[in-house]
């Protein structure tokens, strides 16, 4: 049997894509702001294919979900809580937070850290990329406050490095020393402040932390504070 195409109610579509509430959608429709195949649709309870819907002359934004790579600047937090200071979401289109579900970050970067942050409203993707089972590799560039001991390479790779108050040691991590105080670290897990805590076990303070890759997503030349949509 051929699958029926997933047609959805206009009011439900507009509210899940963050345009307005369902009751506002009724007013938007009555006001002639919604079109399908060139025709104004006045009833918000009618069902259509999401890709056919045009609002104020523009196609609906990403009805299948938002997925972007963001170059996080230092000084903003990954939390949704406004009391924690400027949020990464404050640097993104306001409509993305009004989506249902709203966008969230896939894992977190500390306030002072920069680099690749994946942002999505797709819970399945958040799960896939944060689940400890999946071992998604993340590459960090690190600067520390003292000269690095080459013995750290074996220690990080050993799978025996223990962080304070963690029941299990860290999984093996690849450390590449670039210069006296700079290194690259690849982790396949994401314990709280993990990179900083790994170096702290050896008396090193991380003074710069930048994530250049998250799984298959490489930051490349994406300017700081900018985002790029990724294929779903």
Residues labelled catalytic: 110
CB of 166 to ligand URA, least distance (A): 13
Separation of alpha carbons 164 and 55, rounded Å: 53
Are 101 and 121 contacting, i.e. CB atoms less than 8 angstroms apart?
Answer: yes
- Tokens 């700079």 appear where? 182
**Considering beta carbons, is residue 82 or 112 the nearer one to ligand URA?**
112
Our finding on whether 184 is near ligand URA (CB under 6 A) is no
Q: Which is nearer to ligand URA, 14 or 204 (CB)?
A: 204
Q: Does 194 bind ligand URA (CB under 6 A)?
A: yes
Best CA proximity match to 159, nearest among 143, 181, 175 = 175
- Considering the rule CB under 6 A, would residue 20 count as an interface residue with ligand URA? no
Compute CA 45 distance to the chain's CA centroid, rounded to the nearest angstrom: 33
Nearer to ligand URA, 66 or 117 (CB): 117
Closer Cβ to ligand URA, 33 or 196, answer by number: 196
Tell me the closest approach of the beta carbon of residue 81 to ligand URA, in angstroms: 17
CA angle 184/112/229 to nearest 5° reads 75
Binders in 112-141 for ligand URA, by CB under 6 A: 113
61 sits near ligand URA (criterion: CB under 6 A): no
Least gap, CB of 208 to ligand URA (angstroms)? 11
Using the CB atoms, write b or e for 67-87: b if 16+ within 10 Å.
bbbbbbbeebbbeeeeeeeeb
Using DSSP bridges, classify how beta strands 104-105 and 114-120 pair: parallel, antiparallel or unpaired.
Answer: antiparallel
- The span of 35-43, 164-172, 193-201, 213-221 binding ligand URA (CB under 6 A) equals 193-201
Stretch near ligand URA under the rule CB under 6 A, chosen from 63-71, 87-95, 144-152, 188-196? 188-196
Verify binding: residue 110, ligand URA, rule CB under 6 A: yes
Answer yes or no whether residue 193 interacts with ligand URA by CB under 6 A.
Answer: yes
What's the min distance (Å) between Cβ of 195 and ligand URA?
3
Rule CB under 6 A: choose which of 33, 209, 213, 214 binds ligand URA: 209
Interface residues with ligand URA (CB under 6 A) are: 109-110, 113, 193-196, 209
């Amino acid at each position: 049997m051929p699958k029926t195409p997933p047609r959805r109610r206009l009011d439900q579509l507009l509210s899940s894509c963050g345009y307005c509430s369902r009751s506002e959608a009724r007013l938007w429709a009555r006001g002639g702001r919604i079109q399908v195949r060139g025709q104004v649709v006045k009833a918000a309870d009618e069902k259509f294919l999401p890709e056919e819907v045009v609002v104020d002359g523009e196609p609906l934004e990403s009805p299948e979900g938002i997925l972007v790579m963001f170059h996080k600047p230092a000084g903003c937090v990954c939390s949704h809580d406004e009391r924690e200071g400027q949020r990464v979401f404050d640097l993104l289109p306001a409509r993305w937070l009004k989506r249902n579900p709203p966008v969230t970050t896939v894992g977190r970067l500390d306030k002072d850290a920069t680099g690749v942050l994946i942002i999505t409203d797709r819970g399945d993707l958040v799960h896939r990329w944060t689940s400890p089972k999946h071992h998604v590799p993340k590459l960090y560039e690190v600067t520390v406050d003292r000269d690095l001991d080459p013995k750290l390479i074996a220690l990080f790779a050993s799978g025996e490095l223990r962080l304070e108050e963690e029941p299990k040691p860290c999984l093996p991590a690849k450390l590449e020393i670039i210069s006296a105080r700079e290194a690259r670290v690849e982790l396949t897990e994401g314990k709280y402040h993990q990179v900083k805590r790994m170096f702290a076990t050896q008396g090193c303070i991380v003074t710069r932390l930048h994530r250049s890759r998250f799984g298959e997503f490489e930051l490349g030349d994406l300017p700081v504070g900018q985002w790029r949509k990724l294929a779903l």
